[in-house]
Amino acid sequence: MHKLKFFKSVQFRLVMIYLLLILVAMQVIGAYFVRELEGQLEKNFQDSITNSLTLLDYSVKEEMLKNSDNSAQLQTNIRGLLVDYARNNTNLIEVRIVDDKGKILGTSNMDNQGVVGQKATDNLIKRTLSLGTTEDNIYLEDNDNGGGKRVWVYSTPIKNKDDILGAIYLVADIETVYEQVDDVTNIFITGTLIAMIITAILGILLSRTITKPIIDMKRQAYAMARGNYTRKVKVYGQDEIGELAESFNSLTKRVQEAQAMTEGERRKLSSVLAFMTDGVIATDRRGKVILINTPAEKMLRVPHESANGKSIIEVLDIADQFEFEDLMEMEEPLTMDRSTFDEPYVLRANFSVIQRETGFVNGVIAVLHDITDQEKVDQERRDFVSNVSHELRTPLTSMHSYLEALNDGAWRDEDLAPKFLEVTHNETERMIRLVNDLLKLSRMDGGREQLDKSFVNFTDFFNHIIDRFEMMKKDSITFKRYIPREPVIIEIDEDKIMQVLDNIISNSNKYSPDGGQISFYLKKFEDEIEISISDQGLGIPEEDLGNVFERFFRVDKARSREMGGTGLGLAIAAEVIKGHGGRIWAERNQDKGTTIRFTLPYSDLPEDDWE
Ligand code: ADP
């Protein structure tokens, strides 16, 4: 989980909000309070001085009226009054009296008695004398040290009825008032700091009650993202966050259900895709493979999971013929022939476009079928029809020409007519044989013909068939039997196996040269018997050994026809042996000639069972 930086957290922001609110509140209260306090303290200070001035004012006025003609006496008396007054007011720096002309009559400052008799220069005094008003002001007094203190300067007229007799001028040290205000301000700042520290601590604790459930939900969301739905958010109360937590829990349940459903669907889909025999490829809208099932990988022979992300036209190996856009417009299935020299392999692909209702193309789905077998069957059917037509046309053409010759008058010719009739007779027989063979094969193909099996002593059965051939054979050919004396009992369809042996032995007879030998073998194994018929004839070329069991296959077409063969004998034999659960194959003999071998299932029945 990505760790959230503390100063970016909601908790930090909440604490900051508390702190800023406290700060603003304290600032506003402080500013107002300090201003009020300052005004009040100033007023108290000034009142304490001016209240006691009434008496001085009265005393000075009396002295001025009494000693108006004796200025030396007046100055002495005034000095006495001022010194007294100054002694009782500790904050007073100096108090002076001036007459109505602005001349200084006295000062309380004993060190500065030199100014007595001089003219007062202060503007405040001038205004008081000329207007009869009381004036005051606060100045910053320079001192020798560079720093300065604030002083309060006050001047008030001394009046006798409406006449202005002079003025009282005083300077008082008001700095103490401001020092008091500063002290209060400091207390205020300290108080604010303490309040902020307490607020910060409380803020952290209080905001945790809000952020803890949120952090819980955040963890839950991360857990959900990792697929863990078992976690639940704790509901702390019935407030908005509590409700949010409850909705979050029900959301988790819903997501879990939806996820389970999607997962189920996904599993269903993937097992359907995996178990279907067709190959399926899905692409995105750019043609990149996003899904390919195992049958498709096998059909296209691409390594497992290597096709994902590749372009479909590369995976199908059709990039040289098509663009991805062509596949989207392709309505007919695409046949892809991947046959090699020794293995036929044909695939067919059907494409369909995945499209939204809006027409937006999401991708393409290709379904692949392996149609090699179907193609082979089709090809075989085409070959079969053309072979049958050919096989029938040859005897028909020859019969046609002989009959035409007879019709044209050859019937009158006593020598030719019987010969011509014999040829047409032979051709008719060959055609009957062919049609019979075809019917047999067709019955076996459709599986319509049930095998009519019975238990037979195969040694007797085999010898009997060989005897029959031995009677008809040419003298120049010798038969050799390698057949055990004891009975070999197996369950077969006698007629059909007889047909198989007839076909094989008559081939050996047909293809044996004069003086040749045909050998018959019967071998018994644990679970099968093997029958072999070996001749010393032309032999079958190596590459055709497998083909001789195919319908109408002949190594030498002209020769075979000449000998009356239909090209179906070994094909019928193969079908019959297959029906009995055996195998059949041809081998080239080491010296010369051919051996045809086949097996039949055999089980060594106990004697008493048989009896
Ligand atoms: P056919 O009626 O032409 O003999 P078969 O199906 O019996 O048809 O045999 C198929 C072909 O196999 C023959 O045309 C022949 O070329 C070859 N063949 C079969 N048996 C032998 C054999 N014993 N020796 C040589 N060639 C054989």
Find the distance separating the first CA and the last CA of the chain, reported in whole Å: 85
User: How confident is residue 570, by pLDDT bands cut at 50, 70 and 90?
Assistant: very high
Q: Taking Cα atoms as reference points, which of 299, 269, 296, 256 lies closest to residue 280?
A: 296
Alpha-carbon distance of 30 to 187, in angstroms, equals: 10
- Read off the pLDDT of residues 336-361 as tens digits, 9 standing for 90 and up: 998 888 888 999 999 999 888 888 88
Alpha-carbon distance of 225 to 247, in angstroms, equals: 17
- Which residue blocks in 352-493 are alpha helix, DSSP H? 372-407, 416-445, 458-472
Provide the greatest CA pair distance for the chain: 208
Mean local confidence (pLDDT), 513-529: 94
* pLDDT at res. 143: 64
User: How confident is residue 145, by pLDDT bands cut at 50, 70 and 90?
Assistant: low
- Which residue blocks in 89-149 are alpha helix, DSSP H? 123-131
Alpha-carbon distance of 440 to 502, in angstroms, equals: 15
Mean local confidence (pLDDT), 45-50: 89
Alpha-carbon distance of 186 to 180, in angstroms, equals: 10
Domain 10-181 identical in fold to domain 276-370: yes
Residue nearest to atom 23 of ligand 1 (CA): 508
For the CA atoms of 285, 286, 289, 290, the dihedral, rounded to the nearest 10 degrees, stands at: -50
For the chain, counts of helices (H) and of strands (E):
15, 17
- Examine the pLDDT at 587 and tell me if it is beyond 90: yes
Mutate to test the pocket of ligand 1, among 560, 563, 568, 591 (most ligand atoms within 8 A of CB): 560
* Cβ < 6 A, ligand 1 pocket: 503, 507-508, 511, 535, 537-540, 548, 553-556, 560, 565-571, 594
- 546: CA distance to ligand 1 center in Å? 12
* Ligand 1 atom closest to residue 593's alpha carbon, by position in its atom list: 24
Secondary element (H or E) of residue 97: strand 92-99
Mean local confidence (pLDDT), 480-505: 94
Q: In the predicted model, what is the mean pLDDT of the chain?
A: 89
Domain 276-370 CATH superfamily: PAS domain (3.30.450.20)
| Annotated domain spans of the chain | 10-181, 276-370, 376-445, 454-610
The Cα angle at residue 313 between residues 308 and 318, in degrees rounded to 5: 140
10-181: CATH topology is: Beta-Lactamase (3.30.450)
CATH number for the region 454-610 comes to 3.30.565.10
Here the tokens at position 564 are 């009356």
CATH number for the region 376-445 comes to 1.10.287.130
User: Which of 228-242, 288-302, 310-324 is least confident?
Assistant: 228-242
Place of tokens 């000998």: 563
Angle (deg, nearest 10), helices 494-511 and 458-472: 40
Alpha-carbon distance of 113 to 441, in angstroms, equals: 160
